[in-house]
Chains A and B, each alone.
Chain A
């Protein structure tokens, strides 16, 4: 649930005369947060401290980590390893046990640093 609600204003003030034809089609402006974060309470941000080419993660990338998603084999997750959190690929076989902390839902890579 969001703390603020953006309500679109009509595109013109109401006065006598013809209203704007766009008024019937006013929609909410696109918000990237809605796209990236499915469940805000369970979503955390982390920074990649190293390259993980197999996961297409570059050092410095912002990771959107969602604890409410189910891990997918072959896709990146945050795991508990060696007493800390680390980027890992979800194993394809259950024989390779991994303690999953959360799923890397999105990798955000800026084109200019």
Chain B
């Protein structure tokens, strides 16, 4: 039996914890650059605001209805996510973190009554200790648990916890749902399934195994098995080390000068190296890209990228910055208004397993980098950074209304009277 626990309106809920004035009203969280709406409170959903829409399209509706908004604050959400996982680990055996606000857990060996009680305990703990509303779906397979979780959210009768002891129970309650409500079925797959005469969850379950196996891929067949209560997706408790680390952002305004692009990629490189170091990895290749705004149809378009094979696996920030600057210089062309750039560190290897080359010395300066890391940890964030990143650059992201980092910066903890 699997449980899927996930936060309701997670980013919005995180913002409301320290700010009671954001509760009980239409409230949304905005993406990087305050461009799109990436989270909505229940009241905002009632106004009809869809997910992912450009903020400017709905700003007036929000203003008129006493709404509020905040720029996304990922350090805050990341910290709340980690806290939620700690709470789950205290109450549930074997927790698999699936995304920033969803986790699966193994809840085998309990009867219906015990599962209901456990579900309510988890829900209450999240509310009491974190002020976060969560929904819990419990079913024999992960796919059904996801479906149960959706039902728990949408139907008040479940009181936030929906338990299906069997696939039959699941299909009895959720069989009528459209096929694209199923985890793993996107719009394209839904169209394909509809063409085969499969429109609802019950339709897919009712199809024969061999038919599904033949007409839909192995993934479709696994989905079919999961719908029938045959678990094909075990709990994965080991975190895979990352295959590559990407660092890129859209700019706050269009950038035309090479110097500003160099500052941007230097900053992204710094950020990526921090992630690299925290995972004890080295990179063997790097790629750099830049792009104009593909939605600005009247402007000349350019999307370019290039690869750099590094002479030796490394994690030295200064060296990687100089490679990144060289690379951006190669692909840059005058006359374009760029709106995004990025770097990726690829072919990652572990520092412990890696054989240093005898011919090419590693440029890594562990003592220097350790000193920089220690200073930044002690004095908050980016006290020391490479000058190549630019000082207060004009191209940096707009985050007009970001709430303070209440739980990750001493200088920003909540001040109360």
Are B417 and A83 in contact (CB-based, < 8 A)? no
Are A46 and B89 in contact (CB-based, < 8 A)? no
Q: Chain B residues with Cβ under 8 A from A87's Cβ?
A: 416-417
Q: Chain B residues with Cβ under 8 A from A83's Cβ?
A: 20-21
Are B416 and A85 in contact (CB-based, < 8 A)? yes
Determine how close the nearest CB of chain B comes to the CB of A68; give it in whole angstroms: 5
Are B416 and A47 in contact (CB-based, < 8 A)? yes
- Tell me whether chain B's interface is mostly helix, strand or loop, or mixed: helix
Give the residue of B20, B83, B414 whose beta carbon is less than 8 angstroms from that of A80. Answer: B20
Are B129 and A67 in contact (CB-based, < 8 A)? yes
Give the residues from 68 to 96 in chain A that come closer than 8 angstroms, CB to CB, to chain B: 68, 78, 80, 83-87
CA distance A1 to B83 in the complex (A): 10
Q: Chain B residues with Cβ under 8 A from A101's Cβ?
A: 131
Instruction: Evaluate whether A84 and B21 lie within 8 angstroms (CB atoms) in the complex, with A41-B86, A46-B415, A49-B416 already known.
Output: yes
Give the residue of A1, A40, A46, A68 whose beta carbon is less than 8 angstroms from that of B414. Answer: A46
CA distance A68 to B87 in the complex (A): 11
Are A46 and B21 in contact (CB-based, < 8 A)? no
CA distance A100 to B156 in the complex (A): 26
Q: Chain B residues with Cβ under 8 A from A42's Cβ?
A: 83, 87, 128-130
CA distance A86 to B416 in the complex (A): 5
CA distance A63 to B413 in the complex (A): 10
Are A47 and B128 in contact (CB-based, < 8 A)? no
Interface size class of B (residues with CB under 8 A): 20 to 34
Are B86 and A1 in contact (CB-based, < 8 A)? yes
Instruction: Bits for A1-14, please: 1 = Cβ < 8 Å to B, else 0.
Output: 10000000000000
Q: Chain A residues with Cβ under 8 A from B83's Cβ?
A: 40-42
The count of residues in chain A whose C-beta lies closer than 8 Å to any C-beta of chain B is: 23
Q: Chain A residues with Cβ under 8 A from B19's Cβ?
A: 84
Give the residues from 209 to 240 in chain B that come closer than 8 angstroms, CB to CB, to chain A: none
Closest to B413 in A: A45
Q: Report if A39 contacts B (CB, 8 A).
A: yes
Are A68 and B128 in contact (CB-based, < 8 A)? yes
Q: Report if A26 contacts B (CB, 8 A).
A: no
Instruction: Evaluate whether A47 and B87 lie within 8 angstroms (CB atoms) in the complex, with A41-B130, A68-B128, A84-B20 already known.
Output: no
Give the residues from 15 to 67 in chain A that come closer than 8 angstroms, CB to CB, to chain B: 39-42, 44-50, 63, 67
Q: Report if B18 contacts A (CB, 8 A).
A: yes
Determine how close the nearest CB of chain A comes to the CB of B256; give it in whole angstroms: 43
Determine how close the nearest CB of chain B comes to the CB of A58; give it in whole angstroms: 13
Closest to A52 in B: B417
Give the residues from 116 to 160 in chain B that come closer than 8 angstroms, CB to CB, to chain A: 128-131
Give the residue of A1, A46, A67 whose beta carbon is less than 8 angstroms from that of B416. Answer: A46
CA distance A45 to B18 in the complex (A): 11
Instruction: Evaluate whether A47 and B414 lie within 8 angstroms (CB atoms) in the complex, with A1-B86, A68-B129 already known.
Output: yes
Give the residue of B21, B84, B130, B406 whose beta carbon is less than 8 angstroms from that of A67. Answer: B130
CA distance A48 to B413 in the complex (A): 10
Determine how close the nearest CB of chain B comes to the CB of A51; give it in whole angstroms: 10
CA distance A110 to B90 in the complex (A): 34
Additional A-B contact list (18), CB under 8 Å, known A45-B413, A48-B415, A87-B416: A41-B86, A41-B129, A41-B130, A42-B87, A42-B130, A44-B406, A45-B410, A47-B414, A48-B416, A49-B416, A49-B417, A50-B417, A68-B128, A78-B416, A83-B21, A84-B20, A84-B21, A86-B417
Interface CB pairs A-B, < 8 A, 26: A1-B86, A39-B129, A40-B83, A41-B83, A41-B86, A41-B87, A41-B129, A41-B130, A44-B407, A44-B413, A45-B407, A45-B413, A46-B414, A46-B415, A47-B413, A47-B416, A48-B415, A63-B416, A67-B129, A68-B128, A68-B129, A80-B20, A84-B21, A85-B20, A87-B417, A101-B131
